[in-house]
Structure 1
Amino acid sequence: MRLVRLKAPAAPENLKLVEEDHPEPGPGEVLVRVRACSLNFHDAMVMRGVIPSADGRIPLNDGAGEVIAIGEGVDAFNVGDAVVSTFFPLWSGGEPTPAVKLDIPGETIDGYASEIVCRPARCFTKAPAGCTYVEAATLPCAAVTAWSGLVTHGQVKPGDSVLVLGTGGVSIFALQFAKMAGARVIATSSSEEKLAKLRQLGADDVINYKTIPDWGGKVKELTDGRGVDHVVEVGGPATIMQSIEACRMGGHIALIGVLTGFAGEVSIPALFANQIRVSGIQVGNRSEQEDMIRAIAANELKPVIDRCFPLEDIGAALAHYGSGKHFGKVCIEID
């Protein structure tokens, strides 16, 4: 089987395509023929060495494929089932604990940039009916993160207003889930072309944050001075104060990303004086993923795919992802 290993020191040029024998499933394990993967900010940080991983690690957290063999004692899946990976295989539900971070595919354990993988059954859920393997592969990190921030923690409901930042995977899934819930969506981008695409996806209002640098104030204007009920905050230090400005008194910020850095100044009075609730979100658990997958199937939601690359071009996929030109998910298709 073909697979990619990230050789030390971790860097894009040290992603090596190799041939190895595939394992056989033991008790409690399933053998999966991986058909597609997708890239996330987490994967990029691992492959660039920002997040440390072991020498020879197989990268990529998100994978989808077909069960081709089952070990003894597995009753959750059958041969032929379409499955999708989970970001935290040890987090089945409830509140997180430090133990859930022991196994993170592509970081602390091997990921899915491989034609065939053998994993414990808990590492997968069934894929949504009606989704292709490529579409299913976009779900474990970005979609579950958006779902956890908006649905689990935000309790978004019809009539709410939601602000999403940019056109990455989390933000686009947040737009789709918000519209699915009957909410109004305001979306930002620096590209007029991308803003037009956001409108096509259902965004009710769009803001070019380059031409309108005080976009938090613009959000207040668009909501008649009230502010939005939910902000899906993916930017970090360079955007958080504008997100606070955009949020209504008593509103909710799902704090998800660090696209602009890891540290910055935050006005504490702006948070407590406006009684804004901030939820730190790092993906979600298996139970949330299963809830989300049922909702995706019931609403026939289609993930937005920017571009697919073959496995041997994983470096080019990473470069395209890093360019910031993508709209939606960058994927790997494994023939």
Structure 2
Amino acid sequence: MTIRSYHLDSGAGLAGLTLREHPDPAPGPGQVAIAVRATSLSFRELMILRGDYVLPVKPQVIPVSDGAGEIVAVGAGVDPLRIGERVMATLFPSWQDGPFGLEHLPQRGGSLDGMLTEIALVEEESLVPVPGHLSYEEAATLPCVAVTAWNALTGADASRPGQTVVTQGSGGVSLFALGFAKALGARVIATTGDPGKAARLLDLGADEVVDHRAVPDWPARVRELTGGRGADHVIDVTGHLERSLGAVAMAGQVACVGFISGASPIDPRVLFASGATVRPVAVGSRAQFLAMNKVIEANGLRPVIDSVFPFDKAHDAYHHYASGKAFGKVVITV
């Protein structure tokens, strides 16, 4: 029996994404074989295509960190009763809890094979159950951006009811952060440069939306909306940290979860004057994933999915995601 997997080299671009057949893999000790039902794309996948991802990527890796599926076989040391479970896998398999360390650098879809395959071999210790009310397509959106958003809001000085959270744009992290912040009782001010997306952000629960094209000094508008105080949390997905520091309250927190081309270095005087904490966030631990799932289940939360592509149309999924037109997650079903 054979299976199909996509492969690519870092920096090879979309043309380097190739589909191959392999023998059906057998799980080794402590592993399970997952029949992948769905995967989803995140910005890290585009960075790998371009060759500017910050962590190692092995040659001809099976890409994509995020996926959900069903356990169909188990290796030695794994309870065979687990066959049939609906599961997801963490992006950093060995990161169970506590702070991130160099020992946890191996990551799915980078230095380890990922989920854009029909059968994935996964370490049992990295498994997380799929929330009961979610489909495979919905569950496949969680491992990277949802856990990142959860960590950004709760990993240090967790957001509390009545506080104000600023989210930026309508990417995966920002939309999950919006949903989680509302579930935690926070007020959300969302920014966008697209008036058409402003209405959708309001529909998803944002209390205020600031159009940063119409109001270039959006940090001043955030302060105006918070009575001059500023936001307690800013989820920064662009790397323009001076702007986020202009919007955050004294002793508030800026979670830096990404950066875009052209982001400028921060003036240390601005950082010092803000009195705020800037915390880089790189996804999260399995313990945080499990805690996040409890909130998802308790509140019946569902991810925002923009579009779903079949496995044979993975190139089209990447192309659509790279276009920047998606509002929510782009999913590939297997």
Same fold, judged at TM 0.5 (above): yes
Residue 10 of structure 1 and its aligned partner are, at CA, apart by: 1.9
> Within 5 A, what are the aligned runs for 1:89-238?
89-101=93-105, 103-236=106-239
- Deviations along 1:181-205, whole A, 9 cap, x unmatched? 0100000111111111000000000
Counterpart of 2:21?
A: 19
Residue 7 of structure 1 and its aligned partner are, at CA, apart by: 4.7
Q: Distance in 1 between matches of 2:79 and 2:99?
A: 26
Counterpart of 2:306?
A: 306
Counterpart of 1:70?
A: 74
Q: Distance in 1 between matches of 2:58 and 2:256?
A: 29
Q: Distance in 2 between matches of 1:133 and 1:22?
A: 22
Q: Distance in 1 between matches of 2:181 and 2:126?
A: 27
- Deviations along 1:248-281, whole A, 9 cap, x unmatched? 11111111111244x5232322322231011111
Q: 1:193 to 1:76 in 2, by over 3 A?
A: farther
Q: 1:226 to 1:98 in 2, by over 3 A?
A: same
Aligned equivalent of 2:49, options 47, 50, 55: 47
Letter in 2 for 1:136: A
Letter in 1 for 2:271: L
Aligned length: 330
With structure 2 as the length reference, what TM-score do the two structures score? Answer: 0.95
Q: Distance in 2 between matches of 1:333 and 1:314?
A: 9
Q: 1:7 to 1:277 in 2, by over 3 A?
A: closer
- Name the SS for the 2:57 alignment partner: coil
CA RMSD of aligned residues (A): 1.5
Counterpart of 1:241?
A: 242
Q: Distance in 2 between matches of 1:77 and 1:57?
A: 30
- Name the SS for the 1:59 alignment partner: coil
Residue 327 of structure 1 and its aligned partner are, at CA, apart by: 0.9
Counterpart of 2:297?
A: 297
Letter in 2 for 1:244: L
Q: 1:174 to 1:8 in 2, by over 3 A?
A: closer
Could you tell me whether the CA contact under 8 Å between 1:26 and 1:72 is conserved in 2? yes
- Deviations along 1:145-187, whole A, 9 cap, x unmatched? 0000101224101000000000000000000000000100000
Residue 105 of structure 1 and its aligned partner are, at CA, apart by: 0.9
- Name the SS for the 1:94 alignment partner: coil
Q: Which runs of 4+ in 1 moved over 6 A?
A: none
Q: Distance in 1 between matches of 2:78 and 2:15?
A: 39
Q: 1:77 to 1:58 in 2, by over 3 A?
A: farther
Residue 295 of structure 1 and its aligned partner are, at CA, apart by: 1.3
Q: Distance in 2 between matches of 1:328 and 1:75?
A: 36
Q: Distance in 1 between matches of 2:158 and 2:10?
A: 43
- Listed as ranges, the gaps of 5+ residues in structure 1 are none
With structure 1 as the length reference, what TM-score do the two structures score? Answer: 0.95
Q: Distance in 1 between matches of 2:11 and 2:293?
A: 37
Counterpart of 1:319?
A: 319
Q: 1:251 to 1:116 in 2, by over 3 A?
A: same
Residue 309 of structure 1 and its aligned partner are, at CA, apart by: 1.2
Q: Distance in 1 between matches of 2:219 and 2:11?
A: 41
Residue 8 of structure 1 and its aligned partner are, at CA, apart by: 7.1
Q: 1:214 to 1:59 in 2, by over 3 A?
A: same
- Name the SS for the 1:157 alignment partner: coil
- Deviations along 1:102-128, whole A, 9 cap, x unmatched? x21111011000011122212321111
Q: Distance in 2 between matches of 1:247 and 1:121?
A: 40
- Name the SS for the 1:212 alignment partner: coil
Letter in 2 for 1:90: S
Q: 1:275 to 1:133 in 2, by over 3 A?
A: same
Which stretch has the larger CA shift, 11-20 or 58-67?
Answer: 11-20
Could you tell me whether the CA contact under 8 Å between 2:32 and 2:123 is conserved in 1? yes
Identity among equivalent positions (%) equals 43
Q: Distance in 2 between matches of 1:259 and 1:310?
A: 29
Counterpart of 1:251?
A: 252
Q: Does 1:33 align with 2:14?
A: no
Aligned equivalent of 1:82, options 86, 93, 107: 86
Residue 77 of structure 1 and its aligned partner are, at CA, apart by: 6.8
